[in-house]
Chain A
Amino acid sequence: MLNLTTESSEHSQTDEFEITVPSPPELMKRRAKSHLGFILGGSVVLFALIIAIFAPLLAPFDPYDQDLTRRLVQPIWHPTGTWKHPFGTDALGRDYLSRVMFGSQVSLMIGFFAAIISAVVGSTIGMMGGYFGGRTDNFIMYLINVKLALPGLLVALSLVSVFGGSIVALIIILSFLFWDRYAVVTRSITQQIRVNDYITAAQALGASRARIILGEVLPNVMNQIIVIASLEMAVAIIIEAALSFLGLGIQPPTPSWGLLVSEGRSFMFFKPYLIVLPGVAIFFLVISINMMGDGIRDITAPEGRN
């Protein structure tokens, strides 16, 4: 250990130096506070999240509870509607508000976990390819190219028909659909980062490759990953809704919004609320996630050149 005095050395010429530029975290906070899209989108997503988490407490009824005496009751804005069922009931007498609320759980879970799993898998693959180069990178590029050549939706459909439409199966299948986007982007960024001297400095310290990739490269890639994740989450939600609508995704009686739309199809003209309500829910959630994702992109964008 050095035996140094605690006084500042004669070499400090910067005692009066004051920081005039915000640090990256400060800059992001500042931008976030004034970004309308982010705040608006984020609020709605947060709202949906709260509903999803607390649905068992907040929902007035059990979404599976059938009451055949109260089938197809109109929602509150219809002259015959009552406050007992603000969103009315469906063909089996189940309270629609509760079904829509519980439906948010399905959408958010699938969207969130599909985005996360594909992010982890795809980014790892991409960073490894970008960092190691050579044969490893050739192999990874090959994988990515194969994936890009696959007709995504058709593959998803076939996998679903094989593995069924449980939530877990859907999450895994959708993750498989998205990982390549992360891989391509993180690979490209990693290649640029790799030539920086701070990577060489870490290598010269004897840091392990895992430490360098996770500790030095990842923080610089993270922002991009989050942006992609938020946008992919929206896509996942839509695809799940579509699959469930087609009967290939979530199976009844689980309330998925796509499934609700499908179930309400036959009553479309006389009881439009059956498809409008879940449809509007999908719409608002997806658009909010997109706004939030765009906001994150703006907030985390690097400072322009001086």
Chain B
Amino acid sequence: MSQEIVLEVEDLSVDINVPSGTLHAVSNLSLHVKKGETLCIVGESGCGKSIASLAIMNLLPRRASLTAKTLVLEGRDLLDLSEKEFANLRGDRIGMIFQDPMTSLNPVFRIGNQLEEVYMEHGKGNRKEARERAEYLLEKVGIVAPKERLSQYPHQLSGGLRQRMMIAMTLMCDPALIIADEPTTALDVTMQAQTLNLLRSLQKEFNAGLILITHDLGVVARMADRVMVMYAGYAVETGTAIEVFDNPNHPYTQGLLDCIPVPGRREPGSKLGSIRGIVPALVGDIKGCTFRNRCDFSTKQCEEEIVALKELSKDRAFRCILTPEERETTKQNPGTTQ
């Protein structure tokens, strides 16, 4: 069963002008999302995941500039579009869910109003139709008594309900692509699982592509069909969730997995794995691999160049000079370099 590709991105780079030079926020990023598929972009702060999503939506700050070989949504070339055309796309073909529902909603407008506005602004119908759809979607996201909720204000809802409302708002125009940036980070743990469940089932039902951006590897493992690990602006590993989690190919991915406390996995009282060093400043031209200062396996060559993604199979790639097997031998014979 071949699914349609909703979003195709090739060689996306974002540079930002800062006082001390040029910040390479995103470098040579390529990805694609199919209908009904969940792609999780995972990385820590500063890796560029949020900027990448803003780039796709043309919401970059003024000092940022974007270059890409391909940026196509539902067959439409986004690189060509004017801001007005982009504004039409947002909310209609692309829906976005942010981390903090309180600041994404306008506190002075009723919920019904905000939901209906999205629908009508994109010319999908009149107010009556908008209201019906809003009610329908609120019920779908599991909000009891949707009619009453429509006339309430955001502050009258709890955090979990607000996030569900955001999901409903995203679905008003039946988008082809949903971008969710840390949608459950601000929620309580018990709400998190429920909200993610909801997001997943609705995504499947509406057959939308979902890009889920998060730093939480647990969320990634459970939600993702495919995973992209980002570090310092680069994609360092891609693959299906099972491939990446069971067989991480990049030392950073491996390092991250070692860092997380997992119930039952370890002797309590023992240390967590850690990645030494800190994220480098991304300003100016960095020679070589951005991870090398923190990598236990870096070689002389790593200082010279940053390699392209090595494809192991379709949609499975990683960006490292050494293969996992070669790293194993280096571990066993320390001191040997490439």
Enumerate chain A interface residues (CB-CB to B < 8 A).
13-14, 16-17, 20
A16→B277 CA distance, assembly (Å): 8
B276 touches A20 (CB 8 A): no
B104 at the binding interface (Cβ < 8 Å): no
- Which residue on B lies nearest to A17, using beta carbons? B278
A13 touches B274 (CB 8 A): yes
Task: Provide the B293-308 mask, 1 if CB < 8 A to any CB of A, else 0.
Answer: 1000000000000000
Given contacts A13-B276, A17-B278, A20-B283, 8 further A-B contacts (CB under 8 A): A13-B274, A13-B277, A13-B278, A14-B277, A16-B277, A16-B293, A20-B20, A20-B281
Contacts of A16 on B, CB cut-off 8 Å?
277, 293
Contacts of A14 on B, CB cut-off 8 Å?
277-278
Contacts of B20 on A, CB cut-off 8 Å?
20
Contacts of B276 on A, CB cut-off 8 Å?
13
Contacts of A20 on B, CB cut-off 8 Å?
20, 281, 283
Contacts of B283 on A, CB cut-off 8 Å?
20
Contacts of B293 on A, CB cut-off 8 Å?
16
Q: Which residues 243-278 of B sit at the A interface, judged by CB distance below 8 A? A: 274, 276-278
A20→B20 CA distance, assembly (Å): 9
| Residue contacts A-B, CB under 8 angstroms, 12 given | A13-B274, A13-B276, A13-B277, A13-B278, A14-B277, A14-B278, A16-B277, A16-B293, A17-B278, A20-B20, A20-B281, A20-B283
Residue count of chain B within 8 Å CB distance of chain A: 8
- Residue with the highest number of chain B CB atoms closer than 10 Å, among A13, A14, A20: A13
Contacts of A13 on B, CB cut-off 8 Å?
274, 276-278
A1→B20 CA distance, assembly (Å): 43
Within the complex, the shortest CB–CB distance from B295 to chain A, in Å, comes to 14
Q: Which residues 200-236 of B sit at the A interface, judged by CB distance below 8 A? A: none
Within the complex, the shortest CB–CB distance from B318 to chain A, in Å, comes to 24
A16→B276 CA distance, assembly (Å): 11
- Which residue on B lies nearest to A14, using beta carbons? B278
Within the complex, the shortest CB–CB distance from B194 to chain A, in Å, comes to 30
A224→B20 CA distance, assembly (Å): 28
Within the complex, the shortest CB–CB distance from B137 to chain A, in Å, comes to 33
Contacts of A17 on B, CB cut-off 8 Å?
278
Within the complex, the shortest CB–CB distance from A10 to chain B, in Å, comes to 10
A303→B71 CA distance, assembly (Å): 34
A16→B281 CA distance, assembly (Å): 12
Within the complex, the shortest CB–CB distance from A70 to chain B, in Å, comes to 60
- Which residue on B lies nearest to A20, using beta carbons? B281
- Which residue on B lies nearest to A15, using beta carbons? B277
- Which residue on B lies nearest to A12, using beta carbons? B276
Chain A to chain B: the 10 pairs with minimum beta-carbon distance, closest first: A13-B276, A20-B281, A13-B277, A14-B278, A17-B278, A13-B278, A16-B277, A16-B293, A20-B20, A13-B274
Within the complex, the shortest CB–CB distance from B124 to chain A, in Å, comes to 34
- Which residue on A lies nearest to B61, using beta carbons? A306
- Which residue on A lies nearest to B277, using beta carbons? A13
- Which residue on B lies nearest to A13, using beta carbons? B276
A17→B276 CA distance, assembly (Å): 12
A13→B281 CA distance, assembly (Å): 16
A17→B280 CA distance, assembly (Å): 9
A13→B273 CA distance, assembly (Å): 13
Within the complex, the shortest CB–CB distance from B103 to chain A, in Å, comes to 13
Within the complex, the shortest CB–CB distance from A34 to chain B, in Å, comes to 12
A16→B279 CA distance, assembly (Å): 11
Within the complex, the shortest CB–CB distance from B303 to chain A, in Å, comes to 14
- Which residue on B lies nearest to A11, using beta carbons? B274
- Which residue on A lies nearest to B20, using beta carbons? A20
A302→B236 CA distance, assembly (Å): 36
Within the complex, the shortest CB–CB distance from B98 to chain A, in Å, comes to 15
A170→B129 CA distance, assembly (Å): 70
- Which residue on A lies nearest to B293, using beta carbons? A16
- Which residue on A lies nearest to B283, using beta carbons? A20
A17→B274 CA distance, assembly (Å): 17
Within the complex, the shortest CB–CB distance from B123 to chain A, in Å, comes to 34
Q: Which residues 1-35 of B sit at the A interface, judged by CB distance below 8 A? A: 20
- Which residue on A lies nearest to B280, using beta carbons? A16
A16→B293 CA distance, assembly (Å): 10
- Which residue on A lies nearest to B275, using beta carbons? A13
Task: Provide the B278-322 mask, 1 if CB < 8 A to any CB of A, else 0.
Answer: 100101000000000100000000000000000000000000000
A20→B46 CA distance, assembly (Å): 15
A14→B274 CA distance, assembly (Å): 13
Contacts of B274 on A, CB cut-off 8 Å?
13
